[in-house]
Amino acid sequence: MDAKSVFATVALMVLANGAVLANVYRDLPGALRPAAIRWQAGTALVALGSAFFAFGSILPLPIMVTLANGTLLFGLGSYHRAFERFYGRRSAPVDVVVALAAAAGTFWLSAIDPCFICRVEMLSAAWTLLLLRSMWLLHAMRAQDESRSRRMLIVIYGLVVIYVIGRVVVYLHLDVPGETSIATNDYGINLVSPMFVALLPVIGTTAFVLLCTERVKRQLEIAAATDYLTGLPNRRTLVADGNWAFRRARETGAGLAVGVIDIDHFKAINDTYGHGVGDEVLAFTADCLKQAARKGDLVARTGGEEFVVLMDDLDLRAATAALERIRVAVADSRFSVDGTPVPITISAGVAGCEPRDRDFDDVFRRADRALYLAKLAGRDRVKQAVA
């Protein structure tokens, strides 16, 4: 197979892979679609660049190599912009400037002052710059994105960088005429070039689709574990963490306490101001609880106006004091509706892990009964579970 046939095959493979992403695109959430569109654009540009190498012999050589290389570079830039949109980064015009400068340089070094090796060195520098920009962005996102597909993309980009640099070294040791292109069969490395050109749009597209899929999966997991209104962990997360904390307390002897909290007279707030304000009160109270709780304690919303605080390494006395500080913080908070202050107070019941408890639910139920006692006693107070 000659170089032009390889480039033609690559163009078809790239287009086929782009069609796969187009199919997946419809199933992506709206937030990820702008990134997918830019990746699709990059794939189309790479396919077009490969097509220029495969079928551009009808054009003058300077025009063909300028169009082919310029299109490939704009494709790389579009891939980088896909990553920027995916991670919510602001786009910079660096890729456009690099692609335009390299295209202009390609034309000069093929039409005005033909020099094949100079052209290869310049284009390799442009490719390396654009590839390293994407690698750096992917690396910089490691704290917020631990997905395997992100690391896979770094490896793919790294392989292309190694090839681009290695190709320059090979050509430096060859006596290549100034008026030539990589779409000829004169040198063995010309057959390898289109294969590496296909690495990003073919394997890279698969990795990008996985990147999007893993993002959607993480979002679904977060949604399943989080209360939609307050952003706090929900009952499902509380039960899972509570069971783990209970087993740890049993195995290590560490303290464990559970505080169950209820907003006082919440129905009256809803009836007086409406459910919209009621939702604001829930979110406001949730924020107060998070701010007043110890760092590391789990604050969850279990439904309605009820919240739970899971406290590790505390005995009943210390947990009661911690809940009292939370109660005072909520009472001292300032919430208003159209400038009118709306007092918010909470009642709380607290229970510590005891030898008789069989599981986390036993501790939780005793704390819930203590909350009932706090309400009976007049609200706006903390009550310990009765032994």
Q: Residue by residue, what is the 3-state secondary structure of 253-299?
A: CCCEEEEEEEECCHHHHHHHHCHHHHHHHHHHHHHHHHHHCCCCCEE
Is the pLDDT assigned to residue 208 strictly greater than 50? yes
Q: Which of 256, 222, 215, 235 lies closest to 359 in space, CA to CA?
A: 256
Q: How far is residue 309's CA from residue 349's CA, in Å, rounded to a whole number? A: 10
User: Domains of the chain, with CATH numbers?
Assistant: 3-225 (1.20.1070), 235-384 (3.30.70.270)
Q: Which of 88, 94, 64 lies closest to 76 in space, CA to CA?
A: 94
Catalytic residues: 305
Q: Is the dihedral of CA 285, 291, 293, 298 positive or negative?
A: positive
Lowest-pLDDT choice from 32-41, 66-75, 179-188: 179-188
Q: Give me the pLDDT at residue 297, please.
A: 92
Q: Report the length, in residues, of the chain.
A: 387
Work out the average pLDDT over 30-35.
85
Of 262 and 190, the one with more pLDDT: 262
Lowest-pLDDT choice from 177-191, 259-273, 328-342: 177-191
Work out the average pLDDT over 273-289.
93
What does the block give as tokens for 258? 């559970």
- For residue 195, CA distances in Å to 5, 111, 160, 250, 347 come to 12, 27, 10, 59, 68
Beta bridge pairs of residue 383: 349
pLDDT in tens, 332-349: 998 988 888 999 999 999
143-152 LR contacts (CB < 8 Å, sep 24+): 144/87, 145/87, 145/215, 147/210, 147/211, 147/214, 147/215, 148/210, 148/214, 149/207, 149/208, 149/210, 149/211, 149/213, 149/214, 150/211, 152/207, 152/210
Tell me the range of 12-21, 56-65, 313-322 where mean pLDDT is highest: 313-322
Q: What is the rounded radius of gyration, in angstroms, for the C-alpha atoms of the chain?
A: 31
Q: Give me the pLDDT at residue 185, please.
A: 47
Q: Specify the pairing of strand 306-312 against strand 298-303.
A: antiparallel
Q: How far is residue 174's CA from residue 231's CA, in Å, rounded to a whole number? A: 63
Contact 86, 211 (CB under 8 A): yes
Q: Give me the pLDDT at residue 99, please.
A: 93
- Grade residue 285 by pLDDT with cuts at 50, 70 and 90: very high
3-state class (DSSP) for residue 29: coil
What is the CB-side half-sphere exposure of residue 339 using CA atoms within 13 A? 0
Q: How far is residue 295's CA from residue 312's CA, in Å, rounded to a whole number? A: 11
- Residue 142 has a CB neighbour count (10 Å cut-off) of 12
Is the pLDDT assigned to residue 164 strictly greater than 90? no
- Grade residue 197 by pLDDT with cuts at 50, 70 and 90: low
Contact 238, 230 (CB under 8 A): no
Is the pLDDT assigned to residue 218 strictly greater than 90? no
3-state class (DSSP) for residue 80: helix
Lowest-pLDDT choice from 57-61, 172-176, 239-243: 172-176
Q: How far is residue 71's CA from residue 77's CA, in Å, rounded to a whole number? A: 10
**Cα end-to-end distance, the chain, whole Å:** 85
Work out the average pLDDT over 221-243.
88
Contact 371, 261 (CB under 8 A): yes
Is the pLDDT assigned to residue 3 strictly greater than 70? no
Is the pLDDT assigned to residue 280 strictly greater than 80? yes
Q: Give me the pLDDT at residue 56, please.
A: 73
3-state class (DSSP) for residue 137: helix
Q: Give me the pLDDT at residue 175, please.
A: 65
- Grade residue 251 by pLDDT with cuts at 50, 70 and 90: confident
Is the pLDDT assigned to residue 282 strictly greater than 90? yes
Is the pLDDT assigned to residue 23 strictly greater than 80? no
Is the pLDDT assigned to residue 376 strictly greater than 50? yes
- Grade residue 90 by pLDDT with cuts at 50, 70 and 90: confident
Is the pLDDT assigned to residue 4 strictly greater than 70? no
Contacts of residue 212, defined as CB under 8 A and 6 or more positions apart, other chains included, come to: 24, 28, 32, 35, 36, 86
Contact 341, 334 (CB under 8 A): yes
Work out the average pLDDT over 95-112.
92
Mean pLDDT over each residue of the chain, to the nearest integer = 86
- Grade residue 49 by pLDDT with cuts at 50, 70 and 90: confident
What is the CB-side half-sphere exposure of residue 80 using CA atoms within 13 A? 27
